[in-house]
Amino acid sequence: MILIDIRTSCQNRKYVMIGAMQLKAKKSASLLEVLEELFPDSSKTTLRSWIKNGRFIRDGQLLRSPQIVISKGTELSFESKVKHSSFGIKILYEDKDIVVVQKPAGLLSVATHFEEKETVHAALKSRGVAKRVLPVHRLDRETSGVMVFAYTERAKEGLKKQFHLHTMGRQYLAVLEGSIEEKKGMWKSMLKEDANYFVSSHPEGKEAITHYKVVQRKGDYTAVQVTLETGRKNQIRAHASEAGFPVVGDMKYGATKNPLGRLGLHASLLSFIHPVTKKKMEFKSLPPPTFNRYFVRKNEASISRSVG
């Protein structure tokens, strides 16, 4: 959380929390009573401590008194501090229903039989902001980029439905081995995972469609923007490999070079309809600095919380 002090005059200060959780008062009452309803699992002592430490803002003003009157429907900004290691996770947006994060490479999305603690899911749960953190989708361990989790069953089902209907927008940036001649194209096949967790084309697999557009060519590598029409496990990695242009660093799928020192795949865009407010939301993330030699970074990472 970043707290910005905007001084409109010597006597008047306004504050803005960057990366804060947005809340709305459900009734007109004291700040403490409003928070008791918003955070039913937190004690009064904890809530008073949060207020004392200036973790709530209303209309640009820090709220430091538990007795201050809050009107029903008032929007509050809350600094949701991480209690344990965040593992390099960056929160792009958060409200009472969902949380959107930027996942670093090398971190699992959710727990497996081999790793339960060092995951995005575990890090979000450790913050204690919501009763539950519900996975909606996954990114491979070595893939970085934008992800969304739900805090309620209603939000989870709403987001999962969009994934199922392929209405959720997902774009990736990938660095591939080899030089792709076409400016754009599509990879389509039936993908299936075998007993060794390897995904490849198979007559009994599920339909997978991947669209790509060449962004840059440099030497023996091609940088592409990838849009998923379907969302199968390892879809981009399997399709790129079968096309003869494996993702750099992806030794599992036939890569022989690793110029980035990691998998050359980054989830750069995620767009969806908010499952509760029904607003169009779009989140963008620049690739890590190691991608710089293959992608021209024209703009800073952007977050469009509501569009249209």
Catalytic annotation, residues = 140
What is the radius of gyration, based on Cα positions, of the chain? 22
Alpha helix (H) residue ranges in the chain: 31-38, 44-52, 120-126, 153-164, 235-242
Instruction: State the sign of the Cα–Cα–Cα–Cα dihedral 175, 239, 184, 225.
Output: negative
The contacts of residue 148 (CB under 8 Å, 6+ apart) are 98, 99, 100, 101, 136, 137, 159, 270, 272
Q: What's the one-letter identity of residue 9?
A: S
* Torsion sign, CA atoms 113, 143, 238, 261: negative
In degrees rounded to 5, what are phi and psi of residue 129? -75, -40
> How far apart (Å, rounded) are the C-alpha atoms in residues 176 and 69?
57
Residue 46: other Cβ atoms inside 10 A:
13
Backbone phi and psi for residue 196, each to the nearest 5 degrees, phi listed first: -100, 15
Closest CA relative to residue 304, chosen from 263, 274, 260, 262:
274
Widest Cα–Cα separation across the chain: 72
- Pairing relationship of beta strands 56-58 and 75-78 according to DSSP bridges: antiparallel
Q: Is 45 exposed, middle or buried (0-12, 13-18, 19+ CB in 10 A)?
A: exposed
Q: Give me 101's structure tokens.
A: 């994060």
Least Cα distance to 138 among 126, 129, 146 occurs for 146
